[in-house]
Amino acid sequence: MLSNISSGNGLRTQRLLYLLSIPIIVLLWVSFYSSTPPSSTLDTRSCGREQPQISKSQATSTRKWASIKYSTVTGFFAQDLPDTDDETFDFIASNFGLLDKFQLEGLHVDAENLVPSSKSPPWKKFKSVIKSLNKNAPKNTQYKVFFIARHGQGFHNVAESFYGTHLWDCYWSLLDGNGTSRWDDAELTPLGISEVARANVAWKQQLEYGAPLPEIWFTSPLRRAAHTLEITWGDITLNSDDIPKPIIKEKLRETMGIHTCDRRSSRCEIARAFPTFTFEHGFPEGPDPFWDPINREPDAAKTQRLKTAIDEILEFDSSQTYISLTGHSAAIQSLLKAFGHRPFRLQTSGMIPVAVKVEYSAEKEPPTSSGSGGVAPKCTVDPTAPAI
C-alpha cells in the first residue's frame, strides 16, 4: 500500500508527509498525555486495574416521566443565529460564541438579568439568566447548558482528505490502515493534539472570564474523543479528586458501521488507555458489539440514539445544569437536531455551548422509524491506482 502512495505525484506526497509530520511542540504534548498504541498492538492478556463503572444503584432512577422534549433556547450564542457561518466561526476568538447582549424572547427572566454587561464576555449575566430561568420554570421543566466538543484531527481525517471522500467511502475506510498510517478506532494526529491544546488554553481563559465550569463530563468511547477530553481538561479538572471523573458513554459515539475508524476498541483496551475515566453502568465487555462491517447506521436511528443518550444522562442525574459532551462530527449533527438547534458543523477540536429547554412529560414518546441504512458505495475508479 505504501508504494501506491509514494508513486503519486510530488504534491500529494508532500501533502501527506506534511500532515503526518510531528513538530517539536506536539511531541511534548504526546509525551505529557501518553496514550496507548493502536488497538492491534495492545497486549490484551492483562488490562491491569480497570477503572470502576457507574454502579447499578447509581444508574437506577425513580423518574416520574415517560418522555423528554428538547428545544434550543436561542439568543445567547452566535451559533444559534441563522446568519452565523459555521465554516468561518472561531469558537476561541468569539468567546465560545457568547453574545454581548442576549436576544431572548418569550421567556420569564428577572428583568435585571437582561441588562447588558459592561465587560465582555458576559458570563456572569449568562449564569444569572440560566439560574433565573430554572427558578421560574414549571415543575416539569429545566434549563441545561451542554458544552458540545468535537475531537481534534484524527488519522482518519487525514486519510479521507488525502484520498478524497469517494475513495475513502468505497474502499479505504473499510481497511484498518494503508501500511503507513492506521485509522481503526482512529487516534489524534500530532496536529489534532495541538488543536486540542488550544482548546485547553481557551477554556482556562474563559473560566477566568467567569464561564461556568461543567458539573459532569461524558465522552464517546472512541479513542480520539476520549483523548480530546483528556487533553482539554487534564490540568483543569482531571487532576482534582474533588471533581467527578469523565464517564465513557456508548451512545455518544460516531455513526456506526462499515468505517473502521468508528469501530471502538474493547473495554479492556479503553480502560488501559484512559485509567482515570469511568464507564457507564452496563458498558459491554469484550470487542465492539455494535459495529457492523456491512451496514451503516441510518441517520434517523443515529438521531434517536443520540437523543436517548441525553435522556439517559438526565435520568442518571437531572440535577446538573452544565454538562460537557465530547464526540464526533456526524453524531453532533444528530445531537443538535434532537435539541432543535440549527445545523452547525464543528471544525476538528471545535466546541459550542447550547442552552436547552428540557420538558419532562408523562406521555410516551411516539414511535419513530429508523429508516434504512446503507452499504459502502462501489468505487468508480481503482482506489489503489497511483495518481497521474
Helix-helix angle 223-233:190-209, to 10 degrees: 40
- Which ranges constitute the DSSP H helices of the chain? 2-6, 10-19, 24-32, 56-59, 123-136, 155-163, 165-170, 190-209, 223-233, 267-273, 299-316, 329-338
Cell numbers 482548546: residue? 199
Quick check: 251 and 306 in contact, CB under 8 A? Answer: yes
Catalytic residue among 254, 269, 280, 297: 254
87 as an active site residue: the answer is no
CB atoms within 10 A of CB 24: 6
234-239, long-range: CB within 8 Å, 24+ apart, which pairs?
234/33, 234/200, 235/200, 236/200, 236/203, 236/204, 236/207, 237/213, 238/276
**Catalytic residue flag (residue 187):** no
* Three-class DSSP category at 42: coil
Element (H, E) at 370: none
Quickly tell me which residue has 411516539 as its cell.
Answer: 366
Q: Do 98 and 122 touch, CB atoms closer than 8 A?
A: yes
* Phi, psi angles (nearest 5°) of residue 185: 40, 65
* Cis before 377 (ω within 30): no
**Residue 238 per-residue DSSP state:** T
Cell numbers at 9, concatenated = 505525484
Residues designated catalytic: 151, 254
